[in-house]
């Protein structure tokens, strides 16, 4: 025989505890998701991302992709090549000498046959792409924190 708890309206068979436990689990899981359903990361995960300032030394359109630009960048102690989807938003000559923020510890990837050794950071809205840059000039290879 199952009796009802008059105070909570729940039953004495443990179903109320099950519901409370389920709610707590759901609430904890929901807190791990952002408002758009993208999983949140821990501070330890974020610390794994190495953001650095790079100076663009050369820029040219990717020969095999309409949207990609190939950038040669200086990270202070090394030179790298980065392919970025900014071709429709920037002219190559406007990028030379510009400082940008890159993800420096991203695995190398081949994009349409060309090697990309990092990722440029940019914001986008209403069809625009805006490259993230430091407010003032800093040394190439400076860490972003």
Tens digit of each residue's pLDDT (9 = 90 or more) over 26-65: 445 555 556 678 889 899 999 999 999 999 999 999 999 9
* Number of other residues whose CB lies within 10 A of the CB of residue 113: 10
Tell me, what's the pLDDT at 33?
59
Q: How many CA atoms lie within 13 A of 61 on its CB side?
A: 10
Structural domains for the chain: 1-40 (no CATH), 47-144 (2.40.50.140)
Report CA-CA distances (Å) from 75 to 3, 20, 117.
Answer: 71, 53, 12
Q: Are 67 and 85 in contact (CB under 8 A)?
A: yes
What the block records as the tokens of 113 is: 């046959």
Tell me, what's the pLDDT at 50?
97
Counting as low any pLDDT under 50, the low residues of the chain are 1-11, 14-27
Tell me, what's the pLDDT at 25?
47
Q: Are 69 and 92 in contact (CB under 8 A)?
A: yes
Select from 5, 103, 116, 110 the least CA-distant residue to 53. Answer: 103
């Amino acid at each position: 025989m199952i009796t009802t708890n008059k105070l909570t309206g729940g039953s004495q068979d443990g179903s109320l505890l099950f519901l409370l436990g389920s709610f707590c689990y759901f609430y904890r899981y929901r807190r791990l998701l952002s408002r758009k359903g993208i999983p949140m990361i821990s501070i330890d995960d974020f610390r794994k991302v190495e953001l650095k300032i790079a100076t663009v030394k050369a820029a040219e359109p990717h020969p095999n992709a309409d949207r990609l630009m190939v950038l040669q960048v200086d990270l202070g102690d090394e030179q790298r090549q980065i392919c970025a989807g900014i071709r429709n938003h920037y002219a190559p000559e406007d990028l030379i000498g510009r400082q940008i923020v890159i993800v420096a510890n991203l695995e190398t990837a081949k994009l349409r046959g060309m090697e990309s050794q990092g990722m440029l950071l940019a914001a986008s809205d209403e069809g625009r792409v805006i490259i993230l840059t430091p407010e003032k000039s800093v040394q190439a290879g400076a860490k972003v924190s």
